[in-house]
Structure 1
């Protein structure tokens, strides 16, 4: 391995950077450069004398200056670009500013603003991060990993995407690299995963986006998306190389297309440590909200009848996790499955639609004889028909169909349920199934609500209702930290449930108006609790490979904080 310009080591007093380079080379390394915060002694030792203004200021003053500059940016995209440029020159300062303003800046560095950055990727390209692996050069994948010039124990986390199912905007090809970079920024800001110990990966299989294919500046493979055995060969090469070079790293799949997300996870989950946030992370945070709702309503999961409006990978993933809880509470698998009604784009899924449903939806297909007569002759039962017939107690929206939870539908549900649990999870806000203010009015304030997008508190009949946001960031950062600390061999269903239960325990309070989930501005605390729960579950299941005897202290020490490391010139 070639000699690195600097090496980072950690100890009881924090991180130390052993620096070999001098002069301008120091200022070109984002994790090392601290700009005007270099002391006089550090400037002399690193050959920086005369290369910076005379006065040295600490990171807190730098952060104040940066935040003032940030506020002057006119649009969310301008703010995103400003923070990206900061990260490219001074990564520690970037994370200090982000950590100090996490609630405000999370929508800027990640969703929804990152969607615009992805669309503009090829036109605004600046600094490459991570790996770009091409379906046309599969044999070069091992060399790409070797070119990172890192040791086997140097990486805790790899986030990979193929750019096909980006957020709510679809196939954006190589621009999807930004989603992996953004996801890792959240891991670091929320859970203290060290930014030097992560790798974003873009799996470039082409794109079906004609706008990109006709764009002369597009930086990805300029051909239609490859979907045959070459795609699987690229994934195999990636997983094999990742396991060879970084055997302890968790592989996080992000924004794969609907036809691949569950298939890919199922293919690798029993042979390596892997996780899909769109499916498993979403399920865990929604289940956390459901567990909090159960606590508030004094019920068990097995008591509920659940309608899933939007039976894609996320919706069915939620159903799977809830079903497992029902089974743990004593229902048989068949009895638990029968508690769910899954509604796809064509209507209620039933077993006479074999040609129209995906394999992962099959377990939830209702018997055709059961639902006969629920809709007019020759039609498939729709959401309103299902609510009228089954009187659900829990209604979950992952449909991206705005305003589909109508007043008449919600009032019908509330007429048969004292504390209806209603979660309109589709985002952005323009696609939400119902507004929290309407849900509270239509249920006379009785609804227990969680949403996918952030909403301001609602005033209803003299009471203030805080609206829980089912944000995956409440789960995946702590999960990644717990896996890294435990050196877990796999990510199990038990570990995911432990994460959900840990989040549910930290909800801000109980009683009318209290949110079902903790707020985003408490992510560091939530991530620490999730990490502890996940590591304990891994140890209980025999999946941990590290000594976890002093787990609380281990989690505390493992969470990197954005402070400049001690400098040692070598």
Structure 2
């Protein structure tokens, strides 16, 4: 109990402000019910429900189970030849039948993940103004400065546990898409539910609109954001400060704020500024780092040796590249007990000006300086490969076709099994394709990419490329933070997530050259990661949910949202009788689709949810 109100699904209420009103009633029936995506079941409404909820005549007479609807929709989706059409069809489904959307995504995750997430979401963001139908999150622009707390209160849900926010300045490898970057928070939070099991109502997508420097968008009549150049400096900082303060005030200390696709110059500053005071996580820096480290740990089974035996070369020294490098250095330090300054020396980075070396240190951005090692200047990637002789080549440049034939052949000449990770998204920005990596290395490369690639046949052997997809990490990581009531994110939690993911790669996956487990088991993978992250939060003293669950793995399963269709409550008659008695709302209460009463003081919470 909390102030006389029971916890729901084992979760704390994010804020007690909602308890000011002694009771609330939501009524949905008839036509209104069919327009509510959270509770609409389409043709799956039974004969009894059609009578009880005034649906007679509003639906065709056929009864169609959720499974049959799923089969029909998958058939329809496969008819579309253009990926963006599939994306739009999925978004339409989410807006009219939420449970069916998540069931479809969960049951067909390997096929539909590229549709609702990378790479199709990149094209969706580019054309978001043209395909925009209805808002799916909160848009906070410079016009709302000074009243962001009021704007947050306009969102209908009060118990928010995860916020994914972007300012749209660096969407994947596509650059500044301004307000149209909303597709990223929407897509990420869909995966929080589908892969991590969080309630959709606990998730809030947010876009901070401070303008755009994209001339094409500024001149596009269908652009949906502010038509001005990007605000910077103090004006930008003040808006973000107001947003972060309002979030904490409205939703509480334990709401997770996940930063997405901020430009380098803001991403590092925001993470550094708010990590000590808020529960914040940057998926581009920390999530990417964790999933790549997991792949490297798993790959040791294929390439041999310990992590400390390898040398790493990065193409790209932005938030993804430096984030991955730092987490690898932390893991090396943890394994070898060597100082972090020493383990960093095994990691080399190449940016647009060449190899990052100590002679360039004064001109480097602050996040690149730890990687400026003693070496003569080297201009190109190929020369850097020949000079450093890495065992692992990692691409996070956002520039496609940069792992050329000469680069891959050089890696293959140095290593029996070169480990090549082409991480940039979307597919067009990938440093090389799976086919190129396998062909140019004569089938010896261990390859993974950020975007999905089909299996490749080379010399009568089939190679299955892995995907270093952040979706392996962030849903389970966020679930672990929530189930433990964590108040801060610690690097050891990221290391725990990497270890948990690497441990789930089976021998049958290794036999195919894979360094990541199949996505078909992603809900269990997320639950295992969540359990490890939660355990680490308790170990570090950063968890607030007490007492500590005896079985964190089981706690994850209990929190998982299932998109199936529950039947009517057996206590429906008793509950409605209580409602009629208490509030005298008349016979219409008998036909409620959703009825929720919350009492302050010492009255028991009564809840009837038919769907």
Alpha-carbon contact 1:171-1:208 (below 8 Å) kept: yes
* Residue matched to 1:277: 283
Q: Secondary structure at the match of 1:260?
A: helix
* Residue matched to 1:291: 297
* Residue matched to 2:66: 59
Q: Secondary structure at the match of 1:230?
A: helix
- When residues 148 and 305 of structure 1 are mapped into structure 2, their CA distance, relative to the original with a 3 A threshold, is same
* Residue matched to 1:134: 141
Pair 1:363 & 2:370 matched: yes
Pair 1:183 & 2:183 matched: no
Relative to the length of structure 2, the TM-score reads 0.85
Cα separation, 1, equivalents of 2:411 and 2:70: 50
Unaligned 5+ segments in structure 1 are 1-7, 12-17, 373-379
1:215 Cα deviation (Å)? 2.5
Cα separation, 2, equivalents of 1:207 and 1:76: 26
Q: Secondary structure at the match of 1:360?
A: coil
Q: Secondary structure at the match of 2:358?
A: coil
Pair 1:425 & 2:423 matched: yes
Q: Secondary structure at the match of 1:52?
A: coil
Cα separation, 2, equivalents of 1:534 and 1:98: 25
| CA displacement 1:467-504 (0-9 Å, x = unmatched) | 11101111111111111111111121111111111111
* Residue matched to 1:552: 553
Pair 1:155 & 2:153 matched: no
Of 307, 322, 325, the match for 1:301:
307
Alpha-carbon contact 1:508-1:515 (below 8 Å) kept: no
Cα separation, 1, equivalents of 2:567 and 2:396: 47
What aligned pairs does 1:408-557 form with structure 2 within 5 A after superposition? Answer: 408-509=406-507, 513-546=512-545, 547-557=548-558
Unaligned 5+ segments in structure 2 are 1-6, 11-24, 573-591, 596-611
| CA displacement 1:79-122 (0-9 Å, x = unmatched) | 11111111111111111112221111111112221222222222
Note the aligned Cα RMSD (angstroms).
2.3
| CA displacement 1:366-390 (0-9 Å, x = unmatched) | 23xx315xxxxxxx43222222222
Of 30, 34, 38, the match for 1:23:
30
| CA displacement 1:35-62 (0-9 Å, x = unmatched) | 2212222223322233222233221112
Pair 1:168 & 2:168 matched: no
Structure 1 window deviating more from structure 2 (353-362 vs 98-107): it is 353-362
Q: Secondary structure at the match of 1:123?
A: helix
- When residues 72 and 296 of structure 1 are mapped into structure 2, their CA distance, relative to the original with a 3 A threshold, is closer
1:10 Cα deviation (Å)? 4.8
Alpha-carbon contact 1:205-1:221 (below 8 Å) kept: yes
* Residue matched to 2:209: 204
Cα separation, 1, equivalents of 2:153 and 2:510: 55
| CA displacement 1:347-375 (0-9 Å, x = unmatched) | 011233346421100010123xx315xxx
What aligned pairs does 1:111-126 form with structure 2 within 5 A after superposition? Answer: 111-126=118-133
Cα separation, 1, equivalents of 2:29 and 2:440: 66
1:149 Cα deviation (Å)? 4.0
Cα separation, 1, equivalents of 2:178 and 2:510: 46
Cα separation, 2, equivalents of 1:456 and 1:347: 32
- When residues 357 and 40 of structure 1 are mapped into structure 2, their CA distance, relative to the original with a 3 A threshold, is same
Cα separation, 2, equivalents of 1:78 and 1:403: 27
Of 219, 234, 238, the match for 1:233:
238
Cα separation, 1, equivalents of 2:54 and 2:274: 48
Pair 1:145 & 2:152 matched: yes
* Residue matched to 1:375: none
Structure 1 window deviating more from structure 2 (31-40 vs 296-305): it is 296-305
Structure 1 window deviating more from structure 2 (90-99 vs 33-42): it is 33-42
- When residues 50 and 275 of structure 1 are mapped into structure 2, their CA distance, relative to the original with a 3 A threshold, is same
1:339 Cα deviation (Å)? 1.0
Pair 1:267 & 2:273 matched: yes
Cα separation, 2, equivalents of 1:426 and 1:343: 15
Alpha-carbon contact 2:170-2:176 (below 8 Å) kept: yes
Pair 1:83 & 2:84 matched: no
Cα separation, 2, equivalents of 1:277 and 1:549: 29
Alpha-carbon contact 2:9-2:559 (below 8 Å) kept: no
Cα separation, 2, equivalents of 1:209 and 1:420: 39
1:413 Cα deviation (Å)? 3.3
1:456 Cα deviation (Å)? 2.3
1:444 Cα deviation (Å)? 4.6
Q: Secondary structure at the match of 1:523?
A: helix
Cα separation, 2, equivalents of 1:208 and 1:520: 37
Alpha-carbon contact 1:463-1:513 (below 8 Å) kept: no
Between the two proteins, the alignment pairs up a number of residues equal to: 548
Of 45, 50, 56, the match for 1:43:
50
1:267 Cα deviation (Å)? 0.9
- When residues 478 and 338 of structure 1 are mapped into structure 2, their CA distance, relative to the original with a 3 A threshold, is same
Cα separation, 2, equivalents of 1:97 and 1:268: 37
* Residue matched to 1:383: 381
- When residues 550 and 408 of structure 1 are mapped into structure 2, their CA distance, relative to the original with a 3 A threshold, is same
Cα separation, 1, equivalents of 2:246 and 2:442: 56
Q: Secondary structure at the match of 1:359?
A: coil
1:283 Cα deviation (Å)? 0.7
Structure 1 window deviating more from structure 2 (492-501 vs 128-137): it is 128-137
1:438 Cα deviation (Å)? 3.9
Q: Secondary structure at the match of 1:42?
A: helix
Cα separation, 2, equivalents of 1:105 and 1:130: 22
